């Protein structure tokens, strides 16, 4: 019987079987950030242990650092500086690589790792952060871990892992024009449900997935944790190899050739068996926007807020009613008429060059509605610099967007900057939980295109209308 | 970590279902860059009269004199559900809880308990709550007994039991295999040199 790509990588990393379905797995790369990484390093040192291979460990400052201009170690979050200083000191003491506040390689951990060639096909990578699943887009096995596991992997270069089941999601055919990887991610979650992939490694396959560029694949894989998946994975191909070639930590010279020859073997065999296999037709996927407080509560942007009967297979009456009352929406209301207060482009889901370029193309020559607070936060310092070289910053600024330093920013509220209570935000992020972006903030997840179009109209808006309309 | 063999203490009855990790330690209480300093925030929403305050709520079970220093907690179904934050286990351990008895556990929370030296026991809490006096939990014998009479057996995986008995954490266990791991890496290095040829600058 054939093997899945996942099994090939897993077996190559299995140091020992520990019984009860648990294996000791070799970990090739560890990523840390200042919100959880500093704690792990400090606690490791306090217990008298050392980092086994510091060269394989990278840390960045993304979660707590401010993204306003002229930022420093002093943050809007009252105790943020403690996290920054602790991470800096602990990184130095442990001898690991830190992309500090003013380092040109700084950025959101899941944005910089592919950008720097830290995640590689066939490699295992972990990070104490649930959106580590994004990085499976490059054909590596990358997953989020807890605090104790972070210490474990730092100390031993391995993890004790319960082998996940496998689930393949095949997207056949083509996505329609104006439909993005973000819409696809939201569509899959609304179909499969937010616990639909619990305990499974999720492999995305099919023509519509192969057609996606690497950055779009990162967006798709980013939201696998919103399905409860162990992680997501896409078999590496020529697009991935050419994306990685020449990047800072990617192999060079003869090692590059050797690596690529091995990476070409990472695919699921035709006769490989998945524990679950589902198929979605690419043509069926519309632009989506979330209406509730869970990513599975999403619907086509040109339709209404669903009736309870439409979602009753997944949400109980209580959960449905609570979501609508939190979001201050009513069933049947056309989604694209809902007025907004704010628009946010950023986060590890959608803050890469391609995202900013597509949003800027819509914003060019247009203005954000006067009452809308609009913010663009590039995913990394490198993205920001590149965007500025292309003049995108001017387009955002002239349209009325703020143009920020890179970081997680208002993707989540950790006690620092946030949107206001009851403010309605259209956002390119990945979680619309209650108070995720600020106390009592109402978040609508969508693509960067939808965020840009909504910012211009001042209400949730279908970007396809804007793309057709000529610029005045 | 402190090994667990026998724990004898009053059992704190907090028999509520679905106690999530946010109830165990609210996120507003997780302000520091460390695993410690969390015990004051344990059950903060119930324990204090006001959000963010420190005035004890006299009606909350932990605040009465009966359970001062108690090391056993009795809870209901689905204990530790919600966010996977390990702070919940850290807060309980720092407060001094050594044994959590629940009708059922969230698996992540349960794993975090074992990793942090807390013994999770799946058992019906009601008869235990009826015990007048102290409970003794004997991890070697896998037995709970009430000093006023009554005994209950419980189960635990061998590895978890050994870890708790010896006061080891999973890192200690894995470090016993350090030579095996090093040898595996050496072989792997020739096959995939680019994984190892990294310069930290
Ligand atoms: S951008 Fe948001 S989702 Fe991504 S790592 Fe940062 S806080 Fe998490």
The pLDDT assigned to B50 comes to 86
> What is the average per-residue pLDDT within B1-27?
91
The pLDDT tens digits of the residues spanning A200-243 come to 999 999 999 999 999 999 999 999 999 989 999 999 999 999 99
- Residue with the two structure tokens 């708790």: B164
Residues contacting B179, CB < 8 A, separation 6+: none
Q: What average pLDDT does the segment B122-135 reach?
A: 94
Q: Tell me the CA end-to-end span of chain A in Å, nearest whole number.
A: 61
What is the ipTM, given to two decimal places? 0.94
Tell me how far the alpha carbon of residue B123 lies from the centroid of ligand 1, in angstroms: 38
Please tell me the number of Cα atoms within 13 Å of B183 on its side-chain side: 6
> Does residue A158 belong to the interface with chain B, where contact is any CB pair within 8 Å?
yes
Q: Whose CA is nearest to atom 4 of ligand 1?
A: A348
Q: Looking at chain B, list the stretches that DSSP marks H as alpha helix, in order from N- to C-terminal side.
A: 21-24, 44-47, 87-95, 107-115, 125-129, 158-166, 170-175, 178-191, 193-196
pLDDT at residue A107, as a whole number: 98
Token pair in block for residue B110: 């349960």
Distance between Cα B143 and ligand 1 center (Å): 45
Q: Between A1 and A179, where is the model more confident?
A: A179
Q: CB of A418 closer than 6 A to ligand 1?
A: no
Question: Which string of b and e fits A118-142 if b means at least 16 CB within 10 Å?
Answer: bbbbbbbbbbbbbbbbbbbbbbbbb
Percentage above 70 pLDDT, chain A: 99
User: Domains in chain B, please, with CATH?
Assistant: 6-166 (3.20.19.10)
Residues of B with CB under 8 A from a CB of A: 28, 31-35, 84, 86, 108, 112, 115-116, 157, 159, 169-171, 174-175, 177-178, 180-181, 184-185, 188, 192-201
Q: Is the pLDDT of residue A471 over 50?
A: no
Residue B53 pLDDT class (50, 70, 90 cuts): confident
The answer to whether residue A195 scores a pLDDT higher than 90 is no
**Residue reference for tokens 């910089």:** A112
Lowest mean pLDDT among A140-144, A166-170, A394-398, B147-151: B147-151
- pLDDT at residue B199 in the model: 66
Nearest CA in chain B to A95: B200
- Interatomic CA distance for residues A291 and A250, integer angstroms: 41
CA atoms A38, A39, A44, A45: torsion sign: positive
Identify the pLDDT of residue A472: 41
Residue A71 has pLDDT above 80, yes or no: yes
Give the model's pLDDT for residue A30: 98
Beta strands in A13-96 (DSSP E): 14-19, 22-26, 29-33, 57-60
Count the helices and strands in chain B (H runs, E runs).
9, 8
Ramachandran assignment for A400, one of left (phi > 0), alpha (psi -120 to 50 degrees), beta (any other): left
Straight-line distance from the first to the last Cα atom of chain B, in angstroms, rounded to the nearest whole number: 35
pLDDT of residue B201: 45
Nearest Cα of chain A lies from the Cα of B109 at a distance, in angstroms, of: 11
* Ligand 1 pocket, residue A412 CB under 6 Å: yes
């Amino acid at each position: 019987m054939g093997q899945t790509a996942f099994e090939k990588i897993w077996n190559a990393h299995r140091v020992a079987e520990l019984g009860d379905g648990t294996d000791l797995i070799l970990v090739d790369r560890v990523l840390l950030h200042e919100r959880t990484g500093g704690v792990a390093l400090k606690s490791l040192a306090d217990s008298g242990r050392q980092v086994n291979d510091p060269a394989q460990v990278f840390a960045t400052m993304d979660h707590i650092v401010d993204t306003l201009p002229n930022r420093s170690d002093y943050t809007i979050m009252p105790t943020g500086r403690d996290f920054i200083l602790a991470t800096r000191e602990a990184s130095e003491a442990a001898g690991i690589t830190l992309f500090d506040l003013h380092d040109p390689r700084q950025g959101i951990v899941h944005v910089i790792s592919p950008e720097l060639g830290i995640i590689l096909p066939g490699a295992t990578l972990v990070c104490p952060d649930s959106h580590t699943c994004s990085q499976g887009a490059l054909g590596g096995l990358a997953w989020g871990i807890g605090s104790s596991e972070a210490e474990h992997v730092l100390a031993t270069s391995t993890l004790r892992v319960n082998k996940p089941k496998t689930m393949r999601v095949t997207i056949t055919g083509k996505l329609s024009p104006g439909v993005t990887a973000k819409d696809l991610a939201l569509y899959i979650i609304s179909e499969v449900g937010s616990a639909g992939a619990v305990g499974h490694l999720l492999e995305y396959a099919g023509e519509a997935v192969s057609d996606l560029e690497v950055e779009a694949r990162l967006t798709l894989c980013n939201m696998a944790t919103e399905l409860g998946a162990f992680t997501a994975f896409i078999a590496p191909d020529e697009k991935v190899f050419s994306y990685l070639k020449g990047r800072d930590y990617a192999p060079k010279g003869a090692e590059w050739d050797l690596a690529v020859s091995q990476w070409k073997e990472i695919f699921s065999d035709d006769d490989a068996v998945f524990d679950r296999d589902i198929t979605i037709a690419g043509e069926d996927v519309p632009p989506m926007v979330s209406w509730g407080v869970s990513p599975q509560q999403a619907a086509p942007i040109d339709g209404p807020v669903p009736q309870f009967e439409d979602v009753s297979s997944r949400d109980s009456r209580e959960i449905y009613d609570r979501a609508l009352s939190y979001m201050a929406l009513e069933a049947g209301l056309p989604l694209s008429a809902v007025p907004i207060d704010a628009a946010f482009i950023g986060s590890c889901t959608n803050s890469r060059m391609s995202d900013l370029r597509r949003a800027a193309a819509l914003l060019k020559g247009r203005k954000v509605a006067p009452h809308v607070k609009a913010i663009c936060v590039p995913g990394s310092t490198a993205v920001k610099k590149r965007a500025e070289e292309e003049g995108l910053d001017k387009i955002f600024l002239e349209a009325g967007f703020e143009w920020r330093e890179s970081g997680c920013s208002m993707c989540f509220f950790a006690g620092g900057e946030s949107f206001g209570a009851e403010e309605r935000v259209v956002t390119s992020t990945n979680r619309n939980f209650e108070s995720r972006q600020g106390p009592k903030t109402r978040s609508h997840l969508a693509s960067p295109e939808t965020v840009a179009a909504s910012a211009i109209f001042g209400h949730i808006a279908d970007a396809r209308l804007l793309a057709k309309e000529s610029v005045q | 970590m402190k090994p667990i063999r026998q724990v004898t203490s009053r059992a704190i009855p907090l028999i509520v279902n679905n106690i999530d990790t946010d109830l165990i330690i609210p996120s507003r209480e997780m302000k520091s860059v460390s695993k410690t300093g969390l015990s004051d925030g344990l059950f903060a929403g119930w324990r204090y009269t006001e959000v963010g305050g420190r005035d004890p709520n006299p009606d909350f079970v932990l605040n009465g004199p009966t359970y001062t220093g108690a090391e056993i907690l009795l809870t209901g179904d689905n204990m530790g559900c919600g966010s996977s934050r390990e702070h919940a286990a850290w807060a309980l351990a720092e407060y001094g809880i050594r044994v959590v008895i629940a009708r059922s556990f969230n698996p992540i929370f349960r794993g975090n308990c074992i990793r942090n030296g807390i013994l999770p026991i799946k058992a019906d809490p009601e008869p235990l709550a009826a015990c007048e006096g102290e409970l003794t939990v004997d991890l070697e014998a896998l037995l709970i007994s009430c000093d006023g009479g009554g005994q209950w057996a419980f189960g635990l995986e061998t590895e978890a039991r050994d870890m708790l008995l010896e006061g080891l954490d999973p890192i200690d266990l894995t470090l016993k295999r350090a030579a095996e791991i090093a040898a595996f890496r050496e072989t792997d290095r020739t096959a995939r040199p680019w994984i190892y040829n990294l310069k930290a600058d």
